[in-house]
Amino acid sequence: MEVVQQDTQIRFNNHEHSRKIKAWVQDNRTYANLGKCANYIPALERANPSQLGICIIGSNGSMVKMGDFDTAFTLQSISKVIGFIAACIDYGISYVLERVDVEPTGDAFNSIIRLEVHKPGRPFNPMINAGAITVASLLGGRNPVEKVESILLLIERIVGRYPTINEEVFHSEWQTAHRNRALAYYLKEMGFLDCTVEEALEVYLKQCSIEVTTEDVAMIGLVLANDGYHPIRKEQIFSKEVARLTKALMVTCGMYNASGKFAAFVGIPAKSGVSGGILAAIPPRGRSGDSPFMDGCGIGIYGPAIDEFGNSVAGVMLLKQISREWDFNIF
Amino acid sequence: MEVVQQDTQIRFNNHEHSRKIKAWVQDNRTYANLGKCANYIPALERANPSQLGICIIGSNGSMVKMGDFDTAFTLQSISKVIGFIAACIDYGISYVLERVDVEPTGDAFNSIIRLEVHKPGRPFNPMINAGAITVASLLGGRNPVEKVESILLLIERIVGRYPTINEEVFHSEWQTAHRNRALAYYLKEMGFLDCTVEEALEVYLKQCSIEVTTEDVAMIGLVLANDGYHPIRKEQIFSKEVARLTKALMVTCGMYNASGKFAAFVGIPAKSGVSGGILAAIPPRGRSGDSPFMDGCGIGIYGPAIDEFGNSVAGVMLLKQISREWDFNIF
Amino acid sequence: MEVVQQDTQIRFNNHEHSRKIKAWVQDNRTYANLGKCANYIPALERANPSQLGICIIGSNGSMVKMGDFDTAFTLQSISKVIGFIAACIDYGISYVLERVDVEPTGDAFNSIIRLEVHKPGRPFNPMINAGAITVASLLGGRNPVEKVESILLLIERIVGRYPTINEEVFHSEWQTAHRNRALAYYLKEMGFLDCTVEEALEVYLKQCSIEVTTEDVAMIGLVLANDGYHPIRKEQIFSKEVARLTKALMVTCGMYNASGKFAAFVGIPAKSGVSGGILAAIPPRGRSGDSPFMDGCGIGIYGPAIDEFGNSVAGVMLLKQISREWDFNIF
Amino acid sequence: MEVVQQDTQIRFNNHEHSRKIKAWVQDNRTYANLGKCANYIPALERANPSQLGICIIGSNGSMVKMGDFDTAFTLQSISKVIGFIAACIDYGISYVLERVDVEPTGDAFNSIIRLEVHKPGRPFNPMINAGAITVASLLGGRNPVEKVESILLLIERIVGRYPTINEEVFHSEWQTAHRNRALAYYLKEMGFLDCTVEEALEVYLKQCSIEVTTEDVAMIGLVLANDGYHPIRKEQIFSKEVARLTKALMVTCGMYNASGKFAAFVGIPAKSGVSGGILAAIPPRGRSGDSPFMDGCGIGIYGPAIDEFGNSVAGVMLLKQISREWDFNIF
């Protein structure tokens, strides 16, 4: 399936790039066999593991969509990026970093060890669950609904559509969140939560359950690529400092325990979720004269078969190929 | 002190940039008060903590040197970068990565915990001591002298001068290397060393004792910035893949336990050593039209007063200012 | 204050032993200055730190009470012993040990690290919180009230009085149990809890809030000393196997992170609580001919000023003196 | 094979007890199938896994020997007990405990994690390798030979024969001691070793290589059982305080990571070695009137097929049966 879209802002992309992306999606879709869908809740388990879709949006408004680009999926851990940005918008970087550090850990996303060993240290970074729950607790708003609203509104400003929360997913997450509750109660005891444990979890699990498509994710990536500036809406959504900090976090901690390998072999700021989504931001650069998207672009990928680390298998392989072929590696 | 150098290859740099660097060195030198020289061996303890020097070499051969740029210092952990590259040249990336992973850890550089918890896993990355000793053991050469030689020759190819090993530093390191011996014996038991413990340590501690100046380090950074190509000698020293991988490692693991913070607030591939040196590589890019070194540059910094993480205090602050002012942040 | 009590079952103790105990209580009371009352909930913080009381009940029914022996206090961690015995009575040792191991750890009582490192292992022993919460969850009874009832009835069978739960303490514990909730949710995720987290915590925190005096605790110790046989009521309360196992656990894990030191220098099966209570069981033995309580005895101590490990400072010193003077050391 | 020995000091044991021991050795020998000999060095690997032998010496000099009681084996970790006693004799308990704690850990015998997490804490106890190497380093003597001599002489005083060191075993241990070297260098860096790493290891590995039989080990157990007093030679070899402390350590930490289970189900102070030896000390007591060895006894066992924890499989089962049948459980 191929879509080349145009409206007042989004323009046709040239055919050669579309043709290449089409071939790469086909080629890399086979890697989905090496993974399987997350199965801890029914909604994720029901996903079609052979799907693979992508949307790329350039700074000039050009867009390429290919494969299963229009399947709706929940943000899951990709929401950690949005939550972190929303918290920085509301309170400033300094305030947020008093509650959560920005160091990679090498531990599993849901690890609790480091909190105890480094007691009474902050969670190591906002891309692991401990850090993301801490960030969720300090979002602007007097209650969980308002806190989630600050994330929903930020997404709306970027994608032009108020997103919905997948209530089935949220309900399932809520029921099975034993490990996250363990983390949250630990954080509460250590004084890192600005609200009750149940409130923080409600915010965190609702932000994880926000439903998007690859286009939404690509648009978020586009704004990150442009240092917080929305090149299509022509609006500064958040500061350059927040954007740079967020992209650095994506590189050092964005792909779970495979972040180092992803940086080493793909070299793109990216954040994955167990639903199979990947958010990537390609900053503008002038390295190779003949690559497309020289002014930067945002990429949204969906491929629900994930690997042992929690990353979309086919999605990572697709991004790796794109990065190599079009020299998107930032290093 | 200001030096603008010229020879057949290295050209004058324009005065305005020199003037700015001069002011920034002066400004940031005061931060040295917040750190102190490493004191575990006499040679490092004797350093003048108030020193701060820098050398920047652009891809076009322009060079700026300022402050205490000509003080000789030992590579220490900066050598981990050279050793890793040398091993990849000798054996290929795949072979090396069978012995050492590329994931950041958040643990201290000399930590042994993770080796035990993740048993029988590889060392997490070549920028921590466990990984660097592993890499040292597999360098090309039948004995420690030949293995060190492979590093010395690589440096010679880049800087045009066969470097010397500071024997006093090596001797002191050798005497006090209890923790590194502990790591090495642990690695030996786990089967990660290709030679004896004493041989691996001799290689590792000798590479740490290689004496350089900021210009040497800047030249190494320049080659990394140019993806392994030496723009002055017009020679491909190592492959683009090795260069990209190495720069990714520098970003995720290069600045000890402050790597995440450095990525977040400076955003430059860099590697520090406890001697106070910093190696930085600025890839070419086209972001802001009015910055110098648009085609990329290498930076060598020396400032022996280090912080709790092991990084030059004034050096980090200087790099932060340069990155902000000239938009060197890669994210 | 000295009390020598007599009824049909409890007989006068000889005066010399009373006199010695009186002196030792006076002497060791001064050690209370080195500790302070637990302060995480008001009820514990309100305790008088200078108090020290003891009750010893011999197998022949003789009893000595001295000092602040009649101050009511909550069992806290001493309840872990009762809960473990109750679970073994209800389900047998084998069943219980499928859910909780009997190995000492050296970790803090509320540590969560080991659960993660040894995943998916059982909690290491029933004397740490993770193990005690697991045991609480599998107690006989269809709901928390019935599960707590099984502990209350066991205590009633031993002390001859249905104990009360200090509702203020339970309420405070419930409000501040963030760390225990973290542990419990972790256990739930790992499949070790037989009921909901909130139910397990209700049981565990209620059993911690059972109010007793030194005499109650001494009577429990007496039954343990006699391998489950109640020498005054002339009734086998639980099996010899359960008693021996429980005393072994008390020796290896009963005094928090100071269990090893307590075994080394006091040498008595004992279990402490942060309220300042200590339960000790002196098995019958024939070592030295002139010691009192040759047929074994139970000891209850109360001294609310606790040390860094959570043990009553004066209580431990008092037990150490008694053990040395009367050769109670079992080794 | 059955031997009932008599000399001026060692008297015949009654026939019924010999008959029972004979049957139990036969019965429990079959458990050897569940284990296998240590295979990290040839000398241990060569042992006959089906062997099982025992020697029991009572305080009155009676002795029972059964099965493969006369096979020579090396002390291995059993030497940790002797080394600890020797150090306490030379320097006093207080001095020794400044270098090594007495807390059980639950970690593997060769674990290094805890040293790092609890930095800069002492090794947790003298029964794990880190603690035993520390103790070896502080033994009386100006060099390794003299330090080992202090252990050999202590054994000679107890067993009446100057023991030999199995040089083949020592040589093999020395060659393969990577993990112990790692521990020792770690300890050296932390300042816990009183001599060089190589010296401490020489002492430790030589003490592990001391060759004994079950009778030697039983005699050591007999002296421990009698609180340091040698009932046959009628001599106080070491103080009651050292004996009690040592037996407490054996109970909490003597059987590797199965110490808790051994205390719970066997209930005897014991120390095992990977060679398949077990040292046990049964304190005198008057619990059940019809058991033999009412005045205490020492037990030496040899059964080289070990379990996953490092304990003789058949030996543990044999001790369990003896403890149950003759009520040797100290709790």
Q: Check residue C7 and give its pLDDT.
A: 43
Please give the pLDDT value at position A112: 73
D108: how many CB neighbours lie within 10 A of its CB? 16
Burial D19-48 (b: 16+ CB within 10 A, else e): ebbbebbeebbebbeebebbeebebbeebe
Does the pLDDT at position D85 exceed 60?
Answer: yes
**Confidence tier at A285 by pLDDT (50, 70, 90):** confident
Strand positions, DSSP E, D41-159: 53-58, 63-67, 73-74
| Residue in B103, B227, B247 to test binding to A, most A beta-carbons within 10 Å | B103
Instruction: Please identify which residue in the block is written with the tokens 């009381």.
Output: C53
Are A259 and B104 a contacting pair at CB < 8 A?
yes
Question: Across all residues in chain A, what is the average pLDDT?
Answer: 92
**pLDDT truncated to tens, each residue of chain B (331 aa)?**
455 554 444 554 568 889 999 999 999 999 999 999 999 999 999 999 999 999 999 999 999 999 999 999 999 999 999 999 999 999 999 999 999 999 998 677 777 777 777 656 788 899 999 999 999 999 999 999 999 999 999 999 999 999 999 999 999 999 999 999 999 999 999 999 989 999 999 999 999 999 999 999 999 999 999 999 999 999 999 999 999 999 999 999 999 989 999 999 999 999 999 999 999 999 997 555 567 898 999 999 999 999 999 999 999 999 999 999 999 999 9
Cα angle value D303/D304/D310 (rounded, 5°): 105
C119 CB within 8 Å of a chain A CB? no
Chain C partners of A111 at a C-beta cutoff of 8 Å?
116
Residue B264 lies in a domain: yes
Q: Does D152 touch chain C (CB under 8 A)?
A: no
Catalytic position from the list A135, A137, A169, A204 = A204
The set of residues, in sequence order, having a beta carbon less than 8 Å from that of D189 and lying 6+ positions away, is B178, B179, B182
The answer to whether residue D16 scores a pLDDT higher than 90 is no
Q: Which residue, chain included where needed, has tokens 């590696």? A: A329
Does residue A294 share a domain with residue A190?
no
Average pLDDT of span D174-198? 93
Q: Is residue B290 part of a domain?
A: yes
Q: What phi and psi, each to the nearest 5 degrees, are found at residue C280?
A: -130, 145
Residue A159 and residue A236 in one domain:
no
Calculate how close chain A gets to C115, using CA atoms only, in Å. Answer: 9
Which comes out higher in pLDDT, residue B116 or C50?
C50
Q: Report the domain count for chain D.
A: 2
Question: In this model, does residue A284 exceed pLDDT 80?
Answer: yes
Residue A187 lies in a domain: yes
Does residue D47 surpass a pLDDT of 60?
yes
* ipTM here: 0.89
Give residue D119's pLDDT band: very low, low, confident or very high (50, 70, 90).
low
Token output for C330? 């079992």
- How large is the average pLDDT for residues A178-205? 94
pLDDT at D6: 41
B256 is in an annotated binding site: yes
pLDDT over threshold 90, residue A216: yes
- pLDDT band at residue C289, thresholds of 50, 70 and 90? low
B331 closest CB neighbour out of A261, A265, A269: A269
CATH number of the domain residue D165 falls in: 3.40.710.10
pLDDT digits (tens, 9 = 90+) for D150-164: 999 999 999 999 999
State how far residue C115 is from chain D, nearest Cα, in angstroms.
Answer: 12
Looking at the domain assignment, is residue A124 inside a domain? yes
Residues C160 and C217 in one domain: no
Question: Per-residue pLDDT for A117 more than 90?
Answer: no
Q: What tokens were used for A235? A: 């609006």
Domain check: are C66 and C156 in the same one? no
Q: Which amino acid is at C111?
A: S
Residues in the annotated binding site of C: 77, 129, 173, 180, 204, 256, 274
| Cβ contacts of B102 on chain A, cutoff 8 Å | 260-261, 263-264
Question: D239 lies in a domain?
Answer: yes
Query: Pick from C113, C116, C181: which is nearest to A185 by CB?
Result: C181
Q: Which of A75, A37, A39, A47 is nearest to A206 (CA)?
A: A75
Over residues A80-92, the mean pLDDT reads 97
Residue at a domain's end among B208, B233, B253: B208
Flag whether pLDDT at A12 surpasses 90. no
How many angstroms separate the Cα of C48 from the Cα of each of A175, C45, C321? 44, 8, 23
Same domain? For D43 and D145 the reply is: no
Question: For every residue of chain B, which 3-state class applies, written as one string?
Answer: CEECCCCCCCECCCHHHHHHHHHHHHHHHHHHHHCECCCCCHHHHCCCCCCCEEEEEECCCEEEEEECCCCCEECHHHHHHHHHHHHHHHHCHHHHHHHCCCCCCCCCCCCCHHHHHCCCCCCCCCCCHHHHHHHHHHCCCCCHHHHHHHHHHHHHHHHCCCCCECHHHHHHHHHHCHHHHHHHHHHHHCCCCCCCHHHHHHHHHHHHCEEECHHHHHHHHHHHHCCCEECCCCEECCCHHHHHHHHHHHHHHCCHHHHHHHHHHCCCCEEECCCCEEEEEECCCCCCCCCCCCCCEEEEEECCCECCCCCEHHHHHHHHHHHHHHCCCCC
Question: In C, which residues are within 8 Å of A185 by CB distance?
Answer: 178-179, 181-182, 185
Within a domain: C188: yes
pLDDT above 70: percentage of residues in chain D = 92
List of residues 6+ apart from D33 with CB closer than 8 A: D305
Reported as a single tens digit per residue, the pLDDT across D268-315 is: 999 999 999 999 999 997 555 567 898 999 999 999 999 999 999 999
Alpha carbon of C48: minimum distance to chain D alpha carbons (Å):
30
Which of C244, C253, C256 is the best substitution to test chain D (most D C-beta atoms within 10 A)? C244
Residue D256 and residue D231 in one domain: yes
Across A172-201, average pLDDT: 94
The pLDDT value recorded for residue B16 is 83
In a domain, B331, yes or no: no
| Tens of pLDDT, residues D215-232 | 999 999 999 999 999 999
Which residues on B lie below 8 Å from D182 (Cβ)? 112, 181-186, 189
Q: Which residue of B has its CA nearest to A287?
A: B285
What amino acid occupies position C33?
N
**Distance, CA of B267 to chain centre:** 16
Mean pLDDT value of segment A28-45 = 95
Residue C313 domain boundaries: 2-72+213-326
Q: Is the pLDDT of residue D8 over 80?
A: no
Contact between B113 and D113 using a beta-carbon 8 Å cutoff: yes
If pLDDT is split at 50, 70 and 90, which confidence band does A79 have?
Answer: very high
C283 Cβ under 8 Å from any chain D Cβ = yes
In the residue annotation, D274 being an active-site residue is answered as: yes
Per-residue pLDDT of C182-226, as tens digits, reads 999 999 999 999 899 999 999 999 999 999 999 999 999 999 999
Which three-class secondary structure state does DSSP give residue A236? strand
Mapping DSSP to helix (H, G, I), strand (E, B) and coil, where does residue C121 land? coil
Contact A260 B284 (CB under 8 A): no
Length of chain C: 331
Residue C6: predicted pLDDT: 41
User: Is the CB of A112 less than 8 angstroms away from the CB of C111?
Assistant: no
Looking at the fold, whether A262 and A165 belong to one and the same domain comes out as: no
Do C70 and C213 meet the contact criterion of CB atoms below 8 Å apart?
Answer: yes
pLDDT of residue B111: 75
Whether residues D115 and D204 fall in one domain: yes
Of A208, A224, A256, which residue constitutes the final position of a domain? A208
Per-residue pLDDT for D9 more than 80?
no
pLDDT band, residue D111 (cuts 50/70/90): confident
Residues D295 and D187 in one domain: no
Same domain (yes/no): D64, D81: no
Quote the CA–CA distance of D77 and D127 in Å, as a whole number. Answer: 8
Contact C107 D106 (CB under 8 A): yes
- Is C331 contained in some domain? no
Distance of CA C190 to the CA centre of its chain: 27
Q: What is the pLDDT of residue B286?
A: 59
Q: Which of D179, D208, D237 is the last residue of a domain?
A: D208
Residue D20 annotated in active site: no
Residues A38 and A101 in one domain: no
Quick check: D244 contacting C, CB < 8 Å?
A: yes
Q: Do B261 and A285 touch (CB under 8 A)?
A: no
User: Which C positions 169-208 lie with beta carbon below 8 A of chain A?
Assistant: 178-179, 181-186, 188-189, 197
Which DSSP string do the residues of D78-107 spell out, in sequence order? GHHHHHHHHHHHHH-HHHHHHHS------S
The predicted-structure confidence for C111-164, as pLDDT tens digits, reads as follows 777 777 765 678 889 999 999 999 999 999 999 999 999 999 999 999 999 999
A244 Cβ under 8 Å from any chain B Cβ: yes
| Number of residues that this document lists for chain A | 331
Q: Do A160 and A136 share a structural domain?
A: yes
